[in-house]
Amino acid sequence: MRGQETREKIMEAAIRVIAEETIEGLSTRKVSGIAEVNLAAIHYHHRSKDGMLIDLSRYILNNYVLPRLEPLIDAGKQPADLIKDLYNEVLKIYSERSDIMISLVYLWLHGMKNKRIREILINARADFYDRVERALGSSMSTRRAAKVSRRMLTYIAGKIMEMSVDGETPDEREIEDMAKLLS
């Protein structure tokens, strides 16, 4: 139990540092200070800064993003409704914990340097594409469902990056227009 608590403290501290200072500002010393854990605990659980970032990629996906999005993927929904539901949930996550989404953006960018982070994020994205594609496939051709799922995730990822920079969230009309356009 203590080990899991320590890991979570470390992950939450890393999210905070990345959201405030980017990955370049992240250090094991800073994280240990914010998490109020011994520096040796970080090295024990993650071995290095890169190990911590790899674990952080999984942590954010498995604890914050996927559990909130996956239940919304339903083959019975109309494409526009599915797209709106997913998009609105991403916006909720962003409004509740912008640090999570900002950290995810930085991890995605860091994935250009770190092969393991890139693999984790690409595999998660591919699995998500497949699930959305299958759900959309009940009301459109497989080919169109594949295009729509990819466009939707690309649009949402772009919007998250945009919100991370300017802090502005889209209004309901923009969400409606986007859902109609993509479906």
Residue 4 confidence (pLDDT): 87
Dist. CA 57–CA 43, nearest whole Å: 17
pLDDT in tens, the chain (183 residues): 477 889 999 999 999 999 999 899 899 999 999 999 998 888 888 888 999 999 999 999 999 999 999 999 986 888 888 888 988 899 899 989 999 999 999 999 998 899 999 999 999 999 998 999 999 888 889 999 898 888 888 888 888 888 877 777 777 887 787 777 776
- The distance from CA 175 to its chain's CA centroid, rounded to whole angstroms, is 19
| CA 30 to each of CA 6, 38, 47, 53: distance values in angstroms, whole numbers, following the listed order | 15, 11, 15, 14
**Domains, the chain, ordered by start:** 54-182 (1.10.357.10)
